[in-house]
Amino acid sequence: MGNFRTAFNSFAGRHGMGVALFVAIAVAAWVILLIVLPQLSMLDYSFRHNLPASQIGGPDDTYTLENYRYFMFGNDDGLNTLDIGILLRTLIAAVFVTILDVMICYPIAFILAHSASGVSARLMVIGLIIPFWVNEILRAFAFRVLFGATGLINSVGLGMGLWDAPVDFIRADVALYSGLAYAYILLMIFPIYNAVEALDRAQIEAARDMGAPWWRVHWRIVLPIAKPGIASGATMVFMLTSGALAAPQILGGPSSLWFTQVIYQWFNQSSNWQRGSAYAVILLLVCIAFVTLMMRVFKVSVGEIGK
């Protein structure tokens, strides 16, 4: 609370008390009305029975753990390996997409911060932003066309003799992982860029003058500075990938059911909002627990991520 008061007073000192109050009220309204209250409502739903509308509020409308028990054990006493397996597969895929984005975005962010300048830097930023003017669903369909049996990649591969028959990139989930990695690439680049931009170029030049190879310069100098930005971008990419729905629906193969698709089925196909809410709460809690664990493993605090 003391840190919040200090930050508020500092912001008010720079921009005025009126602006500070407006920002504080707007942020509080956003968090409470659009995040906290919907989550609390969904949490309440998750502990309810799936009853007809006429019985809601009646004696049978009580709290229950049945929806959570179903996730663990299904309709019988055996372990619900299907839903648990889908959740684990979703988390593993989200980790893979996050790592892929880090590998792609780190060098781009470094070049943008310390190598590109003037017109070249502006062109790089424009080149990164303009493709995202296209709707996410249209971009997903574009990836499906690109990786399809008659798409550009298969056509080039067949034309160059790299393979003899069309490769099913959809069934192999190559299209899905590529589409997800591309969908959230900006959320990884700009946090890393903001962190790396603060690095003093003289430190890199001094290390190079002392004979340090490029990999050691990045490992010992750049990465410690970039770690909060990487953690921030990785958190956003992981959470959004775990909760993605459109891309898995469009780009996923027949055996790549995403956990969000299971939630969607409970809400819309089975009309069981209570069980769908329980599954959504489980996904949220598991993702938060995983992110918190990774922050402890890599020794990154919430304050560093928020810088």
Class of domain 81-305: mainly alpha
90 closest CA partner among 300, 304, 281, 239 = 239
Instruction: Determine the 3-state secondary structure of 32 from DSSP.
Output: helix
Residue 196: Cβ-neighbour burial (10 angstroms; 0-12, 13-18, 19+): buried
CA angle 61, 62, 63 (to 5 degrees): 135
172 closest CA partner among 252, 91, 100, 262 = 252
Cα separation of 273 and 246, whole Å?
A: 20
pLDDT at 153: 93
46 closest CA partner among 268, 244, 267 = 267
Residue labelled with tokens 């089925």: 265
Per-residue burial over 290-306, b = 16 or more CB atoms within 10 Å of its CB, e = otherwise: bbeebbeeeebeeeebe
Q: Give the pair of three-digit tokens for residue 181.
A: 């990695």
Cα separation of 180 and 165, whole Å?
A: 26
Contact (Cβ atoms closer than 8 angstroms) between residue 195 and residue 272? no
Q: Give the pair of three-digit tokens for residue 223.
A: 């990465």
Q: Would you give per-residue pLDDT tens digits along the chain (307 residues)?
A: 556 677 767 767 787 888 888 888 998 999 999 999 999 999 999 999 998 888 888 888 889 999 999 999 988 778 889 999 999 999 999 999 999 999 999 999 998 888 777 788 888 888 888 888 888 899 999 999 999 888 899 999 999 988 888 999 988 889 999 999 999 999 999 999 988 888 887 888 888 888 888 888 888 888 888 888 999 999 999 999 999 999 999 998 777 789 999 999 999 988 899 999 999 999 999 999 999 888 888 777 777 666 6
Contact (Cβ atoms closer than 8 angstroms) between residue 61 and residue 48? yes
Max Cα–Cα distance, the chain, nearest Å: 78
pLDDT at 128: 85
Per-residue burial over 124-154, b = 16 or more CB atoms within 10 Å of its CB, e = otherwise: beeebeeeeeeeeeebbebbbeebbeebebb
> Considering the entire predicted model, what is its pTM?
0.88
Hey, which residues does 48 pair with through a beta bridge? 63
pLDDT at 3: 64
Residue labelled with tokens 């996904």: 283
DSSP summary character for residue 76: S
DSSP conformation letters of 247-275: HHHHH--TT---HHHHHHIIIIIS--HHH
Phi then psi for residue 53, to 5 deg, are -60, -30
Residues 6+ apart with CB under 8 A from 109: 189, 190, 192, 193, 196, 226, 229
pLDDT at 68: 94
pLDDT at 307: 62
Is the CA virtual torsion 120, 204, 188, 138 positive or negative?
Answer: positive
Residue labelled with tokens 């720079």: 14
Cα separation of 95 and 239, whole Å?
A: 10
What distance, in Å, lies between the first and last C-alpha atoms of the chain?
A: 18
